[in-house]
C-alpha cells in the first residue's frame, strides 16, 4: 500500500526476496489458523460488498470465484492475464517505491504473502494477503481500472526524479485505497482499504462526519491523508474513465505549480470544492441525481470551509 509506512518493524521474510523483491508463495506454510481466518474474512466481506461496493468490484469478485481458500497467486494470475494482461507477484510486504512502480507499469501487482493474526481481523497498518487480494485484485479484472493502474505505475519514475512522490502517493491513497464512485444505485465504494475492512466501508458511505468531494486531480495531490484512523475526506469519481483519462496529463508542470501551494489538511474543505450530495429520495423536491447536486450552495459551503495553513 503505497504511502502507508509503518513505524514498527516490517513483517514478512525479506531474506528470501529477489532483486525485484518478489518471493515464492509457500502454500504449505499457511497454518490451519490462517485458513480458518481467511474463510472468516471472505465470508464477512463477500456479504458486505454486495450492498456497499460498486458493480465493477462485485463483478470482479464473482469472476475470481470467491474462493474460501487461500488463493494460489500463480493460478489466479493465469486467469487475470487472459482478461487484462495483469499478473500477481508475491512479495514479503512493503517494497521500495521504485520496485513498486516498476511492477505496476509492467502490469504486475505486488501481493503480500503473509496473513494478519486473528486479533487483527478488523485493522492493521501494513497490507497483508487479504487486503492485497480481496481489496485490489477484483478491479484488475476491469479493463479501464486495470489500464489506469498500469498508467499510474508508469508515472512513478518521473515523480521520484521530480521529488514529487508524496503528490503521486496521495493519488494512490485516495483513488486506489479509499475511492468512492457515483453509480445509478447511489454512492458506492471501490477502494481496497475500505472494502477489505468492515468498519471503514460503513463509515465512508454512511457516516455524516467525513467530507465527500468530487474528484479533482490537483485537489487530491494537495490533500494529506490519515494512516492510523478513518479518512476525513473521500474523493468521488463519476466513473473509472475519468480516473484513467487523468493519466494522459503531463504531471511534471503540475508538480511544479503545486510547489507554491500549501497542503490541505485531511479534514478541510477549501474554496472551489464540489461537495458530493446524495440523491434526493423519490417524491422529494429538488434534483434527483448526486451528479446534479454535486455543487453545494455558496452559503452552505462557505459555512463549512476552513482554509488550510501551509
Pairing mode, if any, of strands 108-112 and 87-91?
Answer: parallel
Mode of pairing for the β-strands spanning 180-183 and 108-112: unpaired
Interval 50-63 mean pLDDT: 97
Q: What distances in angstroms separate CA 279 from CA 49, 75, 87, 187, one per listed residue?
A: 21, 42, 38, 9
The pLDDT-based confidence of 197 (bands split at 50, 70, 90) is confident
pLDDT of residue 278: 77
Q: Is 202 a catalytic residue?
A: no
Assign 148 a pLDDT band (cuts: 50, 70, 90): very high
In the predicted model, is pLDDT for residue 114 greater than 70? yes
Question: Is 81 annotated in the active site?
Answer: no
Alpha-carbon span 29 to 296, nearest angstrom? 53
Q: Rounded mean pLDDT of the chain? A: 88
Stretch 86-101: mean pLDDT, rounded? 97
Identify whether 35 is a catalytic site residue.
Answer: no
**What percent of the chain has a predicted confidence (pLDDT) above 90?**
80
Q: 68-72, 99-103, 185-189: which has the minimum mean pLDDT?
A: 68-72
Q: Looking at per-residue confidence, does 307 or 224 come out higher?
A: 224
Using CA atoms, how far residue 42 sits from 133, 189, 196, in Å, is: 11, 17, 9
Residue 284's pLDDT is what? 42
Sheet holding 180-183, edge to edge: 186-189, 180-183, 233-237, 211-214
Measure the CA angle with vertex 167, ends 101 and 110; round to 5°: 25
Lowest pLDDT segment from 18-27, 71-80, 134-143, 193-202: 193-202
Mean pLDDT across the stretch 120-131?
89
How many alpha carbons fall within 13 Å on the CB side of residue 282? Answer: 2
Percent of the chain with pLDDT over 70: 86
Bridge partners, residue 112, by sequence = 91
| Rounded Cα distance, 211 and 192, in Å | 19
Report the distance separating Cα 196 and Cα 46, nearest Å.
Answer: 10
Q: What is the pLDDT of residues 4-20, one digit of tens each?
A: 444 446 789 999 999 99
pLDDT tens, residue by residue, 220-279:
999 999 888 999 999 999 999 999 999 999 999 999 999 999 999 999 999 999 999 976
284, exposed or middle or buried, with CB in 10 Å at 0-12, 13-18, 19+? exposed
Does the structure show a pLDDT above 80 at 62?
yes
pLDDT at 198 over 90: no
Identify the active-site residue in 103, 112, 126, 177: 177
Residues in the chain: 310
Catalytic residue from among 136, 142, 200, 204: 136
Sequence-separated (6 or more) residues with CB below 8 Å from residue 126: 1, 4, 6, 10, 11, 93, 94, 112
Are 104 and 149 in contact by the 8 Å Cβ rule? The answer is: yes
Cell of 16: 528470501
**Domains of the chain by start residue, with CATH:** 13-154 (1.10.800.10), 163-310 (1.10.800.10)
Q: Look at residue 8 in the predicted model and tell me its pLDDT.
A: 47
What gap in Å lies between CA 141 and CA 263, rounded to an integer? 34
pLDDT band at 67 (very low <50, low <70, confident <90, very high): low
Catalytic residue among 196, 197, 200, 204: 196
Selected residue with higher pLDDT from 113 and 280:
113
Q: What is the pLDDT of residues 174-187, one digit of tens each?
A: 999 999 999 999 99
**What cell was used for 199?**
468498519
Catalytic residue among 56, 131, 142, 204: 131
Residue owning grid cell 526476496: 17
| Cα–Cα distance list, 26 to 114, 131, 195 (Å) | 10, 18, 26
Backbone angles phi, psi at 213, to 5 degrees: -120, 140
Phi first, then psi: give them for residue 182, nearest 5 degrees. Answer: -80, 135
Band of residue 30 on the pLDDT scale cut at 50, 70, 90: very high
Q: Answer yes or no: 177 catalytic.
A: yes
Answer yes or no: is pLDDT of 196 > 50. yes
Amino acid at each position: 500500500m503505497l504511502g502507508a509506512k509503518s513505524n514498527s518493524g516490517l513483517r514478512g521474510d525479506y531474506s528470501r526476496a529477489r532483486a525485484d523483491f518478489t518471493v515464492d508463495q509457500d502454500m504449505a506454510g499457511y497454518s490451519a489458523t490462517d485458513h480458518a481466518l481467511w474463510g472468516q474474512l471472505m465470508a464477512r466481506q463477500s456479504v458486505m460488498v454486495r450492498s456497499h461496493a460498486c458493480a465493477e468490484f462485485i463483478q470482479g469478485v464473482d469472476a475470481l470465484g470467491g474462493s474460501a481458500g487461500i488463493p494460489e497467486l500463480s493460478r489466479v494470475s493465469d486467469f487475470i492475464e487472459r482478461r487484462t494482461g495483469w499478473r500477481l507477484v508475491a512479495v514479503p510486504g512493503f517494497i521500495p517505491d521504485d520496485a513498486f512502480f516498476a511492477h505496476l507499469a509492467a502490469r504486475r501487482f505486488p501481493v503480500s504473502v503473509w496473513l494478519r493474526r486473528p486479533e487483527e481481523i478488523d485493522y492493521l497498518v501494513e497490507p497483508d494477503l487479504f487486503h492485497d487480494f480481496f481489496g485490489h485484485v477484483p478491479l484488475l479484472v476491469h479493463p479501464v481500472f486495470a489500464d489506469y493502474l498500469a498508467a499510474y505505475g508508469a508515472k512513478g519514475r518521473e515523480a521520484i526524479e521530480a521529488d514529487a512522490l508524496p503528490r503521486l502517493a496521495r493519488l494512490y491513497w485516495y483513488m486506489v485505497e479509499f475511492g468512492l464512485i457515483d453509480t445509478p444505485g447511489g454512492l458506492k465504494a471501490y477502494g481496497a482499504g475500505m472494502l477489505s475492512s468492515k468498519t471503514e466501508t460503513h463509515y465512508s458511505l454512511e457516516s455524516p462526519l467525513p467530507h465527500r468531494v468530487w474528484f479533482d486531480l490537483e485537489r487530491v495531490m494537495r490533500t494529506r491523508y490519515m494512516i492510523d484512523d478513518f479518512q476525513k475526506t473521500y474523493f468521488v469519481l463519476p466513473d473509472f474513465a475519468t480516473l484513467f483519462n487523468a493519466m494522459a496529463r503531463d504531471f511534471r508542470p503540475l508538480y511544479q505549480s503545486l510547489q507554491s501551494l500549501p497542503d490541505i489538511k485531511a479534514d478541510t474543505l477549501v474554496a472551489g470544492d464540489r461537495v458530493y450530495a446524495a440523491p434526493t429520495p423519490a417524491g422529494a423536491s429538488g434534483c434527483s441525481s448526486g451528479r446534479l447536486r454535486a455543487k453545494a450552495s455558496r452559503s452552505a459551503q462557505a459555512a463549512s470551509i476552513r482554509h488550510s495553513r501551509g
